Structure 1
Amino acid sequence: MTKIIDKQQLADQAANLFRMKGYTATSIDDIAKACGITKGSIYHHFSSKEDVALAALELVHDYYREHIFSIINSRTSPTSADLKAFNQAVERFFLQHRHGCLLANLSLEVGATYEPFKEKIRHYFDDWTSCYVRVFSTFHAPKKARALAEDAVAIVQGCILMSRIRGNLESLQRQHAQLLQYCEAMEAH
């Protein structure tokens, strides 16, 4: 008997497979088996694997908007305490998703210009960058805050990649500690 699974559960399971195996190596059959459903059940919700991936990307982005980006975005003037909470939320997410960042993995696998995914990936990283811009804008002019934010996202994503390779979050935790120390030092001035 086939399980009843909703669209969000299906996208979540697909996100896990895409992180673990990659987009190209994950088939609709793999997703169906992981969900305990038939391939036809997937096509009831989605017209293609690409549509499943788009839903998975949106699911991850929605989670970040609600549970992580909101930590910074809900503050008028984010402080180092807000950055600490943000960092901890990111670390909790990657403790639960040890195969890395779906959007970064997908970007590396299919290319950042792959039209079907390009905008979703760009918006996700723009939102992440905007969080850091808001934090750094407390201490710096807009141009410098943006440069620091773009560098921070790049370094943090590199640390997330290394956590996937090494099987631990140590480099991500060190980078988060450095970002926090920087903000605390700026607040002290």
Structure 2
Amino acid sequence: MAKHIGRQTLLDRATELFRAKGYSATSIDEIVKACGITKGSLYHHFSSKEALVLAAMDQVHAHFSTHVFSLILTAEPPGHTQLAAFNQAVETFFLSNPDGCLLANLSLEIGVANTVFAERIRRFFDDWRACYLAIFQQGFPPALATMHAEDAIARVHGCILMHRIDGNIAPLRRQHQHLLDLLASANPLGMPHLAVSAD
């Protein structure tokens, strides 16, 4: 007998499947089987598989905005304490979700072929990059802060990908410590720094 489950439960289960298997390999039949519901129940909440994965992407982004990105972006100014909390929140999330980052996984699978997906992926990573930029602007000139922010997001997500592959969180933790050390190198006494002009 089919279950009666709510939209949120359906979305959570589908998100797990999309994260683990990808968009193309996750069928509507598999989703409804995993949830114990009928296709009619799924389509009551979501008009298509694309609508469901877009909702999953938005939910992941909203979670990070509320519980991770806000740790830095709401601080005036952000510093070592905020970066350490941000790092811990990232590690906690991916320890609980070992199949990696949904939006990064989709970017590898789909690339920019689907413009609707690509727009959401870019917004998510723009927000993540903005967190690192807000941190490094406290101790580095603008151009250097931008470079450190770009390098940080590339290296961190490389570590997240490797954690998905081999289950080892240690490289991510080392990269997070490197970011803390980098910030401290610009601000060794723990005093607030103003952004320095590149001129």
Verify same fold: TM over 0.5.
yes
Partners of 2:12 and 2:59 lie apart in 1 by 7
How far does residue 74 in structure 1 lie from its aligned partner after superposition?
1.3
* 2:79 counterpart of 1:79: yes
Q: How does 1:1-189 map to 2 (within 5 A)?
A: 1-188=1-188
The residue identity in structure 1 corresponding to 2:16 is: N
CA contact (8 A) 2:61 2:124 kept: yes
Partners of 2:84 and 2:105 lie apart in 1 by 25
TM-score, normalization by structure 2:
0.91
How far does residue 40 in structure 1 lie from its aligned partner after superposition?
1.2
The residue identity in structure 1 corresponding to 2:156 is: V
Partners of 1:5 and 1:147 lie apart in 2 by 46
How far does residue 91 in structure 1 lie from its aligned partner after superposition?
0.2
The residue identity in structure 2 corresponding to 1:95 is: L
CA contact (8 A) 1:11 1:55 kept: yes
Larger radius of gyration, structure 1 or 2?
Answer: 2
Bigger shift: residues 85-94 or 113-122? 113-122
Change (3 A) 1:107 1:88: same
Partners of 2:138 and 2:112 lie apart in 1 by 31
The residue identity in structure 2 corresponding to 1:178 is: H
1:129-161 deviation per Cα after TM superposition (whole angstroms, max 9, x unaligned): 000000000012222212211111011011000
How far does residue 112 in structure 1 lie from its aligned partner after superposition?
3.0
Which runs of 5 or more residues in structure 2 are unaligned? Answer: 190-199
Partners of 2:108 and 2:180 lie apart in 1 by 28
CA contact (8 A) 2:68 2:90 kept: yes
How far does residue 115 in structure 1 lie from its aligned partner after superposition?
1.2
What RMSD in Å do the two structures reach over aligned CA positions?
1.2
1:23-53 deviation per Cα after TM superposition (whole angstroms, max 9, x unaligned): 1100011111222211111100111111100
Partners of 2:93 and 2:87 lie apart in 1 by 10
Partners of 1:120 and 1:14 lie apart in 2 by 18
Matched residues, number: 189
The residue identity in structure 2 corresponding to 1:77 is: P
Partners of 1:148 and 1:112 lie apart in 2 by 25
Amino-acid identity (%): 54
Which runs of 5 or more residues in structure 1 are unaligned? Answer: none
